[in-house]
Amino acid sequence: MASRYHDVYKRWQDDREAFWGDAAREIDWIEAPGKIFAKTAGPHGQWMYEGVCNTCYNCLDRHVERGRGDQAALIHDSPVTGQKKTFTYSELLDEVSLFAAVLSDFGLARGDRAIIYMPMIPEAVIAMLACARLGAIHSVVFGGFAASELATRIDDAGPKLVISASCGIEPGRVVAYKPLLDGAIELAKHKPARCIIYQRPMAPAALTAGRDHDWARLLADARRQGKKSACVPVAATDPLYILYTSGTTGQPKGVVRDNGGHMVALKWTMRNFYGVDPGDVFWAASDVGWVVGHSYIVYAPLLHGCTTILFEGKPVGTPDAGVFWRVIEEHKVSVMFTAPTAFRAIKKEDPDGALVADHDLSGFKALFLAGERADPDTLVWAEDKLGVPVIDHWWQTETGWAIAGNPLGLGLLPVKHGSPTVPMPGYDVRILDDECNEVAEGETGAVSIKLPLPPGCLMTLWRNDARFRESYLDEYPGYYKTADAGYKDADGYLYIMSRTDDIINVAGHRLSTGGMEEVVASHPDVAECAVLGIADKLKGQVPIGFLVLNAGVARDPGEIEAETVKLVREKIGPVAAFKTALTVARLPKTRSGKILRGTIAKIADGEDYKMPATIDDPAILDEITATLKKAGVGSFAN
Binding site for ligand AMP (CB under 6 A): 245, 291, 370-374, 392-397, 420, 482, 484, 496, 499, 505, 510
Helix, strand, coil content of the chain in percent (nearest 5): 35, 25, 40
Q: Is 339 in the site for ligand COA (CB under 6 A)?
A: yes
Which does residue 496 touch among ligand AMP, ligand COA, none (CB within 5 to 8 A, set by kind)?
A: ligand AMP
> What gap in Å lies between CA 130 and CA 136, rounded to an integer?
8
Which does residue 372 touch among ligand AMP, ligand COA, none (CB within 5 to 8 A, set by kind)?
A: ligand AMP
Question: Which residues neighbour 249 within 8 Å (Cβ) at sequence distance 6 or greater?
Answer: 512, 514, 515, 518
Task: Supply the minimum distance, in Å, between the C-beta of residue 508 and ligand AMP.
Answer: 7
Nearer to ligand COA, 12 or 394 (CB): 394
Q: Is 336 in the site for ligand COA (CB under 6 A)?
A: no
Task: Supply the minimum distance, in Å, between the C-beta of residue 244 and ligand AMP.
Answer: 11
Q: Is 46 in the site for ligand COA (CB under 6 A)?
A: no
C-alpha distance from residue 24 to each of 31, 42, 53, 403, 633 (Å)? 12, 20, 11, 19, 52
Residue type at 342? A
Written as one string, the DSSP assignment of 226-290 is T---PPPPEETTSEEEEEEE--SSSS-EEEEEESHHHHHHHHHHHHHTS---TT-EEEE-S-TTS
Kindly state the DSSP code that residue 305 receives in the 8-state scheme: T
Question: Which residues neighbour 611 within 8 Å (Cβ) at sequence distance 6 or greater?
Answer: 618, 621
Spatial CA neighbour of 371 closest among 198, 504, 471: 504
Q: Is 292 in the site for ligand COA (CB under 6 A)?
A: yes
Q: Is 175 in the site for ligand COA (CB under 6 A)?
A: yes
Which does residue 245 touch among ligand AMP, ligand COA, none (CB within 5 to 8 A, set by kind)?
A: ligand AMP
Show contacts with ligand COA in window 349-378 (CB under 6 A). Answer: 371
Show contacts with ligand COA in window 295-334 (CB under 6 A). Answer: 314-316
How many residues lie near ligand COA (CB under 6 A)?
25
Q: Which stretch binds ligand COA (CB under 6 A): 133-141, 179-187, 505-513, 604-612?
A: 505-513
Contact characters 546-585, ligand COA, x per CB under 6 A: ----------------------------xx-x--------
Q: Which residue in the set 12, 29, 290, 364 belongs to the binding site for ligand COA (CB under 6 A)?
A: 290
Q: Is 143 in the site for ligand COA (CB under 6 A)?
A: yes
- Residue 174, SS3? strand
Which does residue 175 touch among ligand COA, ligand AMP, none (CB within 5 to 8 A, set by kind)?
A: ligand COA
Bridge partners of 480? 449
Show contacts with ligand COA in window 411-470 (CB under 6 A). Answer: none
Q: How far is CA 80 from the centre of its chain?
A: 22
Hey, what's the torsion of the CAs at 577, 582, 583, 585, to 10 degrees? -120
Nearer to ligand COA, 259 or 505 (CB): 505
CB contact at 8 A, 624 and 584: yes
Residue 357: burial class (beta carbons within 10 Å; 0-12, 13-18, 19+): exposed
Task: Supply the minimum distance, in Å, between the C-beta of residue 505 and ligand AMP.
Answer: 5
Q: Is 215 in the site for ligand COA (CB under 6 A)?
A: no
Residues lying near ligand COA in the complex (CB under 6 A): 143-144, 168, 170, 175, 286-287, 290, 292, 314-316, 338-339, 341-342, 345, 371, 506-509, 574-575, 577
